[in-house]
Amino acid sequence: MADPRGFLDERERELPPRRPVPLRLMDFKEIYEPQDPKQLHRQASRCMDCGIPFCHQGCPLGNIIPEWNDLTYRGDMRGASERLHATNNFPEFTGRLCPAPCESSCVLGISQPAVTIKRIEQSIADEAAANGWLEAHPPQRLTGRTVAVVGSGPAGLAAAQQLTRAGHTVAVFERDDRIGGLMRYGIPDFKMEREVLDRRLAQMREEGTRFRPGVEIGRDIPWHDLRRRYDAVVIATGAPVGRELEVPGRELEGVHQAMPYLVQSNRAVAGDEVPEQIRADGKHVIVIGGGDTGSDCIGTAHRQGAASVTNIAIGRRPPEFRTPHEPWPMTPRVFEVQTSHEEGGERLFEASTIEFVGDDSGRVVELRLADTDFLPDGRRVPKAGTERSLPADLVLLSMGFTGPERETLDAQLGIEFTARGAIARGEDYATGTDGVFAAGDAGRGASLIVWAIAEGRAAAAAVDEYLLGRTSLPSPIPATAAAISL
Ligand SMILES: Cc1cc2nc3c(=O)[nH]c(=O)nc-3n(C[C@H](O)[C@H](O)[C@H](O)COP(=O)(O)OP(=O)(O)OC[C@H]3O[C@@H](n4cnc5c(N)ncnc54)[C@H](O)[C@@H]3O)c2cc1C
Ligand code: SF4
């Protein structure tokens, strides 16, 4: 602990500046500016290096947070980067995108605002990139074993990097034309610019990981053929199936699942031609559902010049602060104001959709809704007598995801699924099919990048052990422990 009085002298929690709203709505560039080194030093000094650092448990990766806070305070950014990379393959992703459950369990948070762990993490990662410290770590010798990783999101990439560095020959198959999973075509650039991802992919290529974009396993190559060709297979295909809203008018033009809308916008931002792109310009936009996907739709619609953006949620508005039911160090469910919410629009809670109303040409023009009635049996239905309408030219459904696509996995590989729709697997991430493992959203249901990286790392250790009978790769979490958290 570099400064024993740091948390007493620096009581204020300071985040790096965000670009002003009118300016950032003019482009898709990142919202946060780099952190001023003096501010970074002040913020790192607030870490108390607690006897029992609960932030370790809060972080699914088990990041050794007090150590890199201390190194940052001392100005040893290279040392901080090495500590950070010891437990996290991609801190530049989590430093930008993680909801930071570590900060909910920060001990300082009991009496003061928590340490700004996430943004310190980003500063360390960005400093490492700027100074060329992200050298490739190719293996010293090859094992002669081959692994196919299917899916190039954070889970697949983390598994691939660990296994490549362990000496296995790893190919990552991705059905999209570019590598990155939801970090490429789901999450907008204003949360993470793509050069951050490309930089890491360059490192992985140099280490020897082979990328095969534009190949859909199950269609271009059957799953059983892939299994025959490789000594082990990791399924990291995510949980892309969006939850539906079955109300009258769902078929109208202008009512879309959120993902096609976001994917098309991300493609356009990347410079691709997107014929008949779903756009929000001049439209009254309604986003149904919250979470990251909902707020990403809000931010995208504002940048496209929407006339209005309304976000409706069927549930109650979460409390402002932690309630006694979610005591420290739990991650509480509180009212969140994400950067997209700062940019405008209205948020309605306890709002239940009744139907979409169209015009003669079959386009949506109105959304009928009512207050939510919470029935004793747990159902949530529209409350009679409170019906009203909102103008709607574009409706985006963002009500979560039901799980991975199952058809070809089931038919070609005999993969089994849990009652909740995720791939069934054991403690060691192994499915019931010999040599086939599952990591990330495909195995735990739609979740977070930090969990995907943690699972990718742990699954890699399990695969290494399967192939060699032993492993020296770190295994942060067993699959069942991962499944019960967040
Ligand atoms: C819009 C949106 C915003 C989000 N924002 C955040 C955020 O800010 N912070 C956060 O922590 N989490 C966020 N999340 C969640 C996070 O992105 C996911 O939890 C994470 O990406 C899951 O990683 P994964 O590797 O398991 O799967 P994914 O990232 O979904 O990657 C799976 C990949 O597998 C590919 N694939 C699927 N089937 C096949 C096949 N048969 N053959 C070949 N390839 C295949 C897919 O094309 C995809 O590229 C967000 C999610 C969404 C949808
Ligand atoms: S990865 Fe997320 S939970 Fe872990 S230290 Fe970083 S911000 Fe915190």
Residue whose Cα lies nearest atom 3 of ligand 2: it is 59
Rounded Cα distance between 246 and 355, Å, is 9
63 lines ligand 2 (CB under 6 A): yes
- What is the per-residue pLDDT for 445? 96
Mean pLDDT of 448-455: 98
Ligand 1 pocket by C-beta < 6 Å: which residues? 97-98, 150-156, 173-176, 181-182, 186-187, 191, 216-218, 236-238, 262, 292-293, 296, 440-442, 447-450, 452
Summarised one tens digit per residue, pLDDT across range 409-448 is: 999 999 999 999 999 999 999 999 999 999 999 999 999 9
The share of the chain scoring above pLDDT 70, in percent, equals 97
Predicted local distance difference test score (pLDDT) of residue 212: 98
C-alpha 29/C-alpha 122 separation (Å) is: 16
Closest C-alpha to ligand 2, atom 1: 94
- The CATH code belonging to domain 247-399 is 3.50.50.60
Residue to mutate (ligand 2; options 94, 97, 448, 455; most atoms within 8 A of CB): 94
Ligand 2: distance of its center to the CA of 379 in Å? 35
Give the architecture-level CATH label for domain 146-240+402-485.
3-Layer(bba) Sandwich (3.50)
Task: Indicate whether residue 124 lines ligand 2 (CB < 6 A).
Answer: no
How many Å lie between the centroid of ligand 1 and the Cα of residue 183? 7
Residue 102 DSSP SS3: helix
Cβ-based neighbour number of residue 316 at 10 Å? 11
Residues 395 and 310: their CA atoms lie apart, in Å, by 10
Query: Which residue among 93, 98, 486 has the greatest number of ligand 2 atoms within 8 angstroms of its CB, and so is best to mutate?
Result: 98
Mean pLDDT on 246-270: 98
CA distance 190 to 201: 20
Domain boundaries, the chain: 6-130, 146-240+402-485, 247-399
What lies within 8 Å, CB to CB, of 326 at 6+ separation is 332, 333
Q: Where are the alpha helices (DSSP H) in 240-330?
A: 258-269, 291-303
Is the model's pLDDT at 481 over the cut of 90? Answer: no
Atom of ligand 1 nearest to the CA of 157: 25
Q: What percent of the chain clears pLDDT 90, i.e. is strictly above it?
A: 94
Q: Do 247-399 and 6-130 have the same topology in CATH?
A: no
Tokens at residue 81, please?
């980067």
Question: Does 118 sit in the ligand 2 pocket, CB within 6 Å?
Answer: yes
Residues in the chain: 486
Q: In this structure, which ligand is nearest to the CA of 234?
A: 1
Could you read off the pLDDT of 6-50 as tens digits, one per residue?
999 888 999 999 999 999 999 999 999 999 999 999 999 999 999
What's the pLDDT band for 486 if we cut at 50, 70, 90?
very low
Mean of the per-residue pLDDT values for the chain? 96
- State the Cα–Cα distance between residues 17 and 36, nearest whole angstrom: 9
Where does 6-130 sit in CATH, by number?
1.10.1060.10
Determine if residue 350 is left, alpha or beta; phi over 0 gives left, psi from -120 to 50 gives alpha, anything else beta. Answer: left
